[in-house]
Structures are given as C-alpha cells and as structure tokens.
Structure 1
Amino acid sequence: MASGFREKILKPCLWSREALKSFSLLPSKSLWEKFFNTKKKASTAENIAPRTGPFLDMSKTGQKLSSVPPKQNLLQISPPEVVFQGFVAHEVSEMVVSLVNKDKLPEVVRISMESSPYFQLVCSNNAYRVVTPGVPAPVRIRFTPGKGKDYSHKLICTTARERIVVPIQAIGARAILEFPDQLDFSECPVKQSSHKTLLVHNVSNRAVHYQLSTQSPFSVVPATGTVGAGDTVQVTVGFHALMTGDYSGSLCCNTGEESTHTELHAEAVELNIGLSTNVVAVETTFITMSNHKTMFIENRSNVTAHFQWKAFPTKEGENREKRRQCRFLRPWSEKSQENLTEEETSESEMGSCEDHTARLSNTVLAEIAKVQQDPMLFSDDIFFIEPVEGEIGPNSSAEIKVTFKPTEALEYQSVAYCNISGRESRLPLRLRGHGKGPLVELNCRILNLGNVSVNTPHVREVQLVNLGAIDAPFTYISSNANVGFCFKFAPKEGIIAPGGTQTIQVSFGATVLGTFEEEFQFSVAGSPRPAILTIKGSVTGPTSLSDTIKLNLEDISSGECSLGWDTAWGICA
C-alpha cells in the first residue's frame, strides 16, 4: 500500500445500476434512490446473480460429476455487485467478496482482475484458490481513488465449469439537496406578491453548486448559489399573478449531476377591497381658487393592500403610451445625429464631434429608460389626488382627497384608475367639477335717459358690483354702432375686489335727433359672459327755428357737422 494513504474497510453495499443514472425526479424520489435501505437490499442479495459465462460439460472431462445440477452456479458470490461509496480521494478503501462452494467437493477457483491504477486484489492476481464446500473464502478488493468521481471495474472468478463476473462500482460524492416534493401557496391576492421560504439542506459530504429556475408567475431567489457540506441555505419562492385563477408550475433544481422538480401550486383570488364611491363631483369653484372633496378606499380583507392612482385603465394602455413616447424620441435622435455628421469639422475637432455624438446617444437612451420606468401615475392640470399611492392596512380604509382647481369657467371631467393589489381590474373614479368665473353684475341693467336735447352733454352713473369671491378684472368694449360713438365711459378698465363696486361714469353728447336704444358691454376676465348695459332715450331738437339755424351755423364754423336732413334722425352731423 502506498505510503501516506489511510486505509479504511467498508461494509458491502448493494446498488442497482438504475440508481447510478441521473434523474429528473421529485426530490423525495431522488433521495430514495440515493439513500435506499441497504439492509433491505442485502436481504435480497441471494436473488441477485452475477454474470455467469458458459457452462462446461463435466461429463466430457475426466472429473467427478458435481452434486450441483447443470446450469446452476457452483459458487455463490456475496455480494453479487460491489459498490464503494462515501470514499475520499487518495484514501484507501477495501471491501470483501465471499465465495461459497455449493458443491460437496472442493473447487479450484482462479481469481483475476484486469490491471487498474485504482482497483487491486490484496491477494495475487490470477492466483488459484481451493474453496472447500460450505466455507466462505474471502477475496479482498482494494480501491484507491484519485478523485471524488465515479469508477467501475470487474472481478472475474473462473472454475472448471463456469466463469463469473462480479461488477465493481465506485460512486463518488453526490450533490444532495433536500427540497420538498410540493409547495402549495394556497389562495393568494391577485396582483400582490406572495412568498414562501425554503430552508434547503445539503445532506451530502461535499459542497454543491445549484441553479434554480421556475416559470412565471412564480419566481425564485437566489437563482444560483453554493451550499457547503452539511450547510443550509434560504431560498425564497415568489408568486405574483396579474389575473385570477389556478396556477401550477415547477421549481427545477439542477446540480450538474441531476435535476429535481418541486411541484408549485397557487390560486390567485380577489380581495374584498373597493372604492366608497365611483364618482366625485366637486362643488362649483371660482377660477384661480380650489375646492376639494374626500372619498375612501376600503379594505375589508385581512391583507395589507397597496394602491396607485393611474392615468390609464389597463397595463396595455400604459405600454402603448410608452412605446409612442419612445418612438417620438428615436427619430429625433437619428435626425440630430444626421445633422451632426453633415457638419464640416477639422481632424483636430473630430474627437470632440464623436464625443458629442456619444453624449447625444446616451442622453436619448437615458430619456427612453426614463419613459420605460415611468409608473404612469395619474396626473392632471385641473384635478389632483392625494395621496397618489400608498398602503391600506387590513380591515381599514385610506382617505383620498380630490382637489379641483379650475382655470376657466367650464365644465370639467376626468377619470382616474385605482390599481389595487388584490383586485384584478383597475377601479375607475370619475371626477367632475364646474369652474366659475368672476360674478359681476350692474346695479341697473337698463338706463333710461328720457328726453335729452341735441348737443347737450349729459352725465349718468352706473355701478359694476362684484358678487363673487375673487377679483374681477373688467374692460369696456368700445361700440361704434348707431349712436354708440356718442357715449363715453370712465374708467374703461379696472379690477373690482370681491364684494366691491366700481362706479362707471357715462357721458352722452347727442348730435342726432331721434329715439335710440343701445347695448354696451363690459367683459370680465374669466367670465364666459359680459355685463351688458342697455341705454335708451330720445334726442329732441331746439325749441325755435332761430335756435336751429344758430346751432347749425355754429357746427359749420367748427367743422364738426354739416347741415342736412336724415330720414331717421332729422339733422345729422
């Protein structure tokens, strides 16, 4: 025996050849194949016969006939198959094979083995031994492994009547990880991650490198790793389904020598979670001001739920919008790079040009990545939701504040979609609100001037009253229709504070005769309709002909009007 090697005597162990193959089995089946009961196998050793060569016809030889019937072995080999296991590289191991002569006469047996650096006979090779009836004759086989791998060889026992081949197997250390046959998640909330933790024990005598894989909606972390001999590693199996229903899969563990499959089962169900209302109608609100209303997300389940207010009703809608935005970015990038390559640059500037191209490309890629990572939460210029995302504890509710900030005096409508873990579909919340502009009224809508004399100045006053809660900027809209040019308003513009009034001075100098009725408008910023003042009256001429002639002569001398008659108004300028 070589120096420095330790010697170890192993007990015989019986293995079937099927146990030496690689399997893709349930974990328990794999362990059974590796650690089946050797005592039970040993009890059936007599039923396992080694390979036997052709029998010789003893009647044609000069030897005395045997008491063992023809076609039966004279020798009983135990064990019929030799298996070395649990060995360590460079350590010497030995196993004993017993030969039992079933005849009544001694039998000469030649013990032989092909030359091997790993297997040797302790006795001389090709030596003859006399095996007496009923007395076991031991044959010692020495095994010196170079590595912790599998080896195979054979022992040959030859008599005058038969040739028996005893297989020798050396099974190296196997990667053996303990996994359950089945992992059942039972009922899990849809669109919510559920996890099961497994403690995987390495029951072999060497380190095991593993690779784990599964199929969506199942997941596993870590996917790869190494477990030392006798150590334990924690593996987390996850389940996250986007739709309700029953799901099945498998957790595959590949050690490089074999694969085992743990069956996975889960059912995705909806939780009792919903909105307190599907419509939020905010009260009429003045522009530049805000108003709000509250509603609730009610969680009647025993599971914590996560919610997000989304801009799109489905995940597919979000993805379409992201693709659209990415397509918008890519042509811009290509066009920018084309323009850049068309520029004439000197060789000394070429380096900086390439750097700029790289920066441009990186900028666009960064923008595309930003779009792809965008959660697409609800965003609106008029309606605001707070909080836009959060968690709701079991059997509790979350208060949601909807704020309305109109910018114009219009009817506003929008829809926000609540994406809640535990609910398959997003829940729509319809938002409604009416924007109201400044509320300005005239203290009198109709101003009757009665009978007024031509060319006689008249002054009246009206008031603009701000009945609203915000400032009301107003502007007089000039009018030249009919006799509108005869009226002057002061001031023409201004701002009326909430609850305040603005006195408007109306000056009228009639230059035509007749009855009139005119509308004058004051526009109010943010209000869809103006304040309208109606002025009516009748312009009368002078009381005598001399006054009329004097009046017209004065007009002629000033160049402001000419003498003439109008069918509608009489004298006109």
Structure 2
Amino acid sequence: IAGVPVCLQVTPSVYTQEMLQSTEERLANSNEVQPPRILELLDMSMTTHHKLSLVDMDQPLFQPFPSELVFQNFTPTQTYKLPLLLLNNDKVSRQVKVEQQDSEYFHVVGPEDAGSKVAPGLSATFTVYFTPQENKDYHHSLVCVTERERFEVPICAIGPRAILDFRDEFHLPVCPVKTSTQRTHLVRNIGNSEAKFTLSTQRPFSVTPSAGTLEVGEGMQVTVDFNPMTIGDHSQDLLLHYHTGEDVYIGLYGACEEVNIQLDHDFVLLQKTYVSLASVHTVSLINSSGIPLKYCWTTWPSLQEEALSLLRFKEEEEEETERLLYQCESDPTEIHRLPLLSRALQELRSQAVKDHLLALSHSCITVEPAEGEIWPNMTAQFSIVFKPEEAKVYQQTIYCDVAGRESRLPLTIKGEGLGPKLQLNYDLMDMKNIFIGDKDNYEVRLVNSDTTFGRCFSFSPEEGVVPSGASQIVMVTFHSRVLGTFSEDLLLTVTGQPQPLTLTFRGCVIGPTFHFNISEFNFGDVAFGFPQTLICTLFNTSFVPMTFALRVPGDGSGFHSMTCSNWQGSNTRDLRANPAEFTISPTAGSVRAMSDVTIKLMLCSNTVKRYRLALVVDVEGVGEEIMTVPINAR
C-alpha cells in the first residue's frame, strides 16, 4: 500500500481505514518519515563555501515530509493539493529547490522566497497540485536539489480500490487433533472498484474459495478450515491479495487438544493355533469423547515414517522413469512403454498405501475392520484373525491411527503357530547285514539325502496327506550296489513344521555268502599225461543271485595238454611250452539265491612235480579272489 513501509503486514482494518480516507486525512495521519532515495551526489565546492556538514553522506541535507505524497479518493477534473516540507537537517543554512518535471497532472509551486537559504531546523514549503483526468492510478516523482545531492520524492495517486471487509483475526473453535473445525465469514466488497482477489494460507489451515470476484456491494461466504495434526496452539496468516497489487494479512488462530480415546489393551497374546486353522481374538477401541472419530489400522508407527516410505517409493518411481527415458534415447521404439509404465507405477503406489492401511506386513495376522468410524461414547470391536503358515512364534506391532490422538495407538500381537503332530513308529532302523543288490522294504515316510548310500533309498508314496488321528504307511526301499557300512539320516518333512523328523537307517552292505562242499581238491598221485577229474558243489547261501568266475592262478597259459591216447602217438617236441593243465567246468556262471551248482575240475599233468595251487572264486560286483580252495597233486 502506498505510504506504508514494506516490512509491515497490513491488516484488513488498517487497509480499510487508509483506503477510505481522503487525501487530507491521509496526510494528517502520516507520522512516519523515511529517508528519500539519493539520485546523485554533487560537488559542494561549486555551490557553497560550507563544504563540511554534520549530516551523513547517506542522508540528504533536507528531509522531505511526507516521505511520499499520496492522493486518493479523488474525482476526475478536480484539482487537489498537498504540501511538501523540506526540513534542513544541517547546522548551517542551506539552499534547496525542486526541479519541475514534465507532467500534465502534477504541478509544483515553490515558496515566495524560493532560492534563498533555509536556516538550520527550519523548512521550505512547496505545494504540489494534482488534477486527474480519469479515475485511475497515477505515479510521478519530484526531484529535489540541495547543495550536496539530488534526491527524489515519489508521488502516488491511488485510484478506485476494492475493499473486502474481512475481520483482522479468525479464532477457530478448539479442535481435537486429526479432526477439523471451520468458521465461515460473510465478506462484502465495500470499496469503489470490482474486487478480483486470491486467498492463501498454510497448514494446518485452509481456505475456501481460494479466489473470487466481487462487484461493489456484493458479498460471498469464505470458510476457513482448521485441521491440526499436532496438539497445541497454531497460528498462520491468511493472505488476501488484490489484483491491484495490495496484500492484506488476516490472522488465523486455533487450539488443538487430544480427546479421551484408547484401546482396552496394548498387548494381545493369541491362542496357539495349528497351521491351516484360524483363531480369533477381540480388542476394543473406546471413544469417551462427544464427537465421532475416524480410525484406520496401519503398520507405519508415525505420519513421518509413512511420508518417508512413500517418498522412497516416489524416488524409485522416478529412477525407473529416468531409466526408461534413457532407453528411449537409444531406442525410439521404447517410447510406447512410457504411458504403460506411468499407469503401472501409479497403481503400485496406490496398492502400497492400501496394503499398509488395510493389513499387516504379512497375511498371517489381520485386523477386521481395517478402517471405519467410531461414534461418541461408543466402543468399537476389532477381530484379530490369526492364520499361521508355519510352526513358529509370530509377533507384530500394528498401529491404530485414530482422530483425536496425536500419536498412533500401538498394539503388539503375539501368537504361536503349531505344526502337525506327526510321530514315527521308530526313529532308528538297524538294517544289520544287507546283501549287495538286495532290495529291503520298510514302512515310513522320509526324504533321502544326497549321499552314496542315501541315493540307494526310495519311497512310495513320496508325499501325501495324513488326516487328523490317522496314520500313513510309506514303503522305504533300500537297494545298494556298493559294499560298506552306512548310517543315513532320512528326513520326514511336514508342511507347517520348521524342523523335520529324523529316522536313522544303519547297516552294512555285504557280498553274497557261499561255500564249497569240500575243503580242498586232492588229486593224489596222477599219471603223467593222463587226465583225472574231481567234482564238487558250490552253494549260494545268500538271498540274492551270485555271478561267479573260477580260475587257477599259476596254471599254464598255452594249449591244454593232450589226452593219453594222442599224447602217446606224438613227439614230445611238439608239445607247447607251459601248457594249461587244469580244466574247469563251468568257468563262470550264476547261482540263484539259496541254490547250488556242480563244479568239475580236471587235471592232465604235463609236468613231473608236486602241485600246490588253488581254485580262486571271483564274484561280480564284489571283487576278485573272494574265496580260494587248495589244489594238491603229485
């Protein structure tokens, strides 16, 4: 507003008072003096002999009053006048004059003794005449010249102005925290011009409407809302900005307090619940106030953490958008994905907020209803539904964000999930000696381990469902092609139980057991070149078939020696060196479980000597020289 220091915030009453004053009243109420703006410093040696002055260089030798000449509430074609006093601030007499500026609206008339010096502490009076042609704003300035400087005095003619009759302060009713109160005021335009204005303020206050237009004499309702999030006294300014440039400040004041609303418990121990079943516990929210209050359950402990969480999500969204824009620069065909991305991210943000408001961080514990409104002096009941997914202890703190309370009400929930109670009919199976290749079956439900012997186990069925109070038989088959001692922990995994049941199988995989019905092959004295045969029986005393091979180590490796008839008719020089002298029938074969086979061993001696050899038995899958039977002959 013209003539009002910038540092002051003008209230509606001050603005109205100043706008309704006449020019003379405005001058009469002007008490403050501001130093003028110095345009130029002059050389005092050219204008006076008194070069020294007690007035600082940033201050003019003459102080104008008023600091700004303001004409207002004028009528076109009429002439108005204001005096301009220039007070000598120095301790010596000084000269001052006013330069005439070209203007058809403003005219300055000096004193009769213009050009003479003004004594210290006295003033020279000039008269400024203003003759407007239109009802509008005018701006002009007067340039005053002293012996040391040139400075200006602004002139402002204020044309028609709108004046909205706001009160200086709005005191809103006491408001419970996180609720709202409001106050409505009928505002009229009591000025002499159309009012185009905007209204703005800051939280926890808001105003409706935020802008408007009022003709002279018209009125409208303006509503101020008070929605505090913290207790205590609150104040803000409501800024009324006119389209003509003036700003008017209205004080807004409100007090916020908490009401009596609380949970009946802040800790709930839920009943132990089996996996796949559900238990329900009830908690109460008691509203002892006289107003209805809204509530919602959330996992965010405070509004600040909620805002930070959403801010982080927004930052991730912006990073994803920047990444896609970078891709579009290198590949323009990607540009079609931008609308899809924006829509997807918006849905994700909305879903993220909804998930926090309506449920807990995991689905095992939920609160129903998740949000709503509780009426005055009433109690709201909430069902806490516990559906454990595993056999473990669950603990979660959730928060009831309820109007009337600044901090969110915490509720710690603890519950234990129980897994199925399954029991093995034994936890140790000593399989003792097991024949290699044999299949042994056991009735349990297990999971094999990835070891040498662990891979020898198989199960039927591998998985299933055991009804309550029932049992399940599972066939465990062990089939090993490897010899050795073993101890394997097989695991029974049960859905809902963190730790599996363990059944230990141990034993020793052995080769087939067998024996001969003789302890040695004793040929006694045999004739040179004449074959002799002994017969024995090989018994398989195991429950698995046995594949064998028979040989006589140390026997010749050439052709077999001839029989007696053809040996006599041949020349001894034709005999091969080191001929084979033993013949085994059969040399290899398979004996069924708990069966026997006849073995024939023939000796056709080709050497005069004593024989001390052995018949060796190799067993397939077990090893060589598993058994030896001595052979004696002379």
Q: Structure 1-normalised TM-score?
A: 0.56
Count residues in correspondence.
Answer: 410
**Residues 332 and 184 of structure 1: CA distance in aligned 2, closer, same or farther (over 3 Å):** closer
Kept in 2: contact 1:322–1:371 (CA 8 A): no
Structure of larger gyration radius: 2
Q: Using the alignment, how far apart are the partners of 2:250 and 2:349 within structure 1?
A: 35
Q: Which residue of 2 aligns with 1:234?
A: 221
Match of 1:277, SS state, is coil
Q: Using the alignment, how far apart are the partners of 1:183 and 1:420 within structure 2?
A: 27
1:247 and 2:229 matched = no
Q: Using the alignment, how far apart are the partners of 2:463 and 2:241 within structure 1?
A: 84
**Residues 286 and 175 of structure 1: CA distance in aligned 2, closer, same or farther (over 3 Å):** same
**Residues 533 and 420 of structure 1: CA distance in aligned 2, closer, same or farther (over 3 Å):** same
One-letter amino acid of the counterpart of residue 495, structure 2: A
1:403 and 2:371 matched = no
Task: Could you tell me which runs of 5 or more consecutive residues in structure 1 were left unpaired when the two chains were aligned.
Answer: 1-16, 42-82, 93-115, 118-143, 153-169, 344-352, 465-473, 566-573
Moved more, 360-369 or 394-403: 360-369
Q: Using the alignment, how far apart are the partners of 1:239 and 1:549 within structure 2?
A: 107
One-letter amino acid of the counterpart of residue 439, structure 1: K
Alignment match of 1:380 (pick from 361, 378, 388): 361
1:27 and 2:12 matched = yes
What does the per-residue CA deviation read over 1:256-285, in whole Å, with 9 as the maximum and x for residues that have no partner? 375543322111222222222222333333
One-letter amino acid of the counterpart of residue 464, structure 2: G
Kept in 1: contact 2:162–2:216 (CA 8 A): no
Moved more, 409-418 or 203-212: 203-212
Alignment match of 2:317 (pick from 288, 307, 329): 329
Task: Could you tell me which runs of 5 or more consecutive residues in structure 2 were left unpaired when the two chains were aligned.
Answer: 26-70, 79-103, 106-130, 140-156, 519-536, 549-589, 592-619, 627-634
Match of 2:473, SS state, is strand
Identity of aligned residues (%): 30
Q: Which residue of 2 aligns with 1:292?
A: 280
1:216 and 2:203 matched = yes
Alignment match of 2:290 (pick from 298, 302, 312): 302
Structure 2 counterparts to residues 75-90 of structure 1, below 5 A: none
What does the per-residue CA deviation read over 1:537-569, in whole Å, with 9 as the maximum and x for residues that have no partner? 999x99x9979984448756445767999xxxx
Between 1 and 2, higher relative CO (CA 8 Å, sep ≥ 6) is seen in 1
Alignment match of 1:316 (pick from 293, 304, 314): 304
Kept in 2: contact 1:477–1:523 (CA 8 A): no
Q: Which residue of 2 aligns with 1:108?
A: none
Kept in 2: contact 1:27–1:260 (CA 8 A): yes
Q: Using the alignment, how far apart are the partners of 2:324 and 2:250 within structure 1?
A: 54
Q: Using the alignment, how far apart are the partners of 1:297 and 1:430 within structure 2?
A: 14
What does the per-residue CA deviation read over 1:425-468, in whole Å, with 9 as the maximum and x for residues that have no partner? 2232223332333321235557799x99999x999986x7xxxx
Q: Using the alignment, how far apart are the partners of 1:177 and 1:203 within structure 2?
A: 6
Q: Which residue of 2 aligns with 1:529?
A: 499
Q: Which residue of 1 aligns with 2:263?
A: 275
Moved more, 360-369 or 392-401: 360-369
The CA deviation at 1:530 is: 3.4
Q: Using the alignment, how far apart are the partners of 2:223 and 2:487 within structure 1?
A: 87
Q: Using the alignment, how far apart are the partners of 1:252 and 1:340 within structure 2?
A: 45
Structure 2 counterparts to residues 438-457 of structure 1, below 5 A: 438-443=420-425
Q: Which residue of 2 aligns with 1:109?
A: none
Q: Which residue of 1 aligns with 2:467?
A: 497
Give the CA RMSD over aligned residues. Answer: 5.3
Q: Using the alignment, how far apart are the partners of 2:168 and 2:477 within structure 1?
A: 99
Kept in 1: contact 2:138–2:158 (CA 8 A): yes
What does the per-residue CA deviation read over 1:269-322, in whole Å, with 9 as the maximum and x for residues that have no partner? 222222222223333333344333232222222222222323322333233333
Moved more, 498-507 or 183-192: 498-507
Kept in 1: contact 2:301–2:408 (CA 8 A): yes
**Residues 283 and 248 of structure 1: CA distance in aligned 2, closer, same or farther (over 3 Å):** same
Kept in 1: contact 2:172–2:253 (CA 8 A): yes
Kept in 1: contact 2:446–2:490 (CA 8 A): no
The CA deviation at 1:479 is: 9.5
What does the per-residue CA deviation read over 1:370-399, in whole Å, with 9 as the maximum and x for residues that have no partner? 666664535423332333322222222332
Kept in 1: contact 2:205–2:226 (CA 8 A): yes
The CA deviation at 1:173 is: 5.4
What does the per-residue CA deviation read over 1:75-96, in whole Å, with 9 as the maximum and x for residues that have no partner? xxxxxxxx99798x99x9xxxx
Kept in 2: contact 1:459–1:508 (CA 8 A): yes
Alignment match of 1:193 (pick from 156, 180, 187): 180
Q: Which residue of 2 aligns with 1:263?
A: 251
The CA deviation at 1:235 is: 0.8
The CA deviation at 1:28 is: 4.2
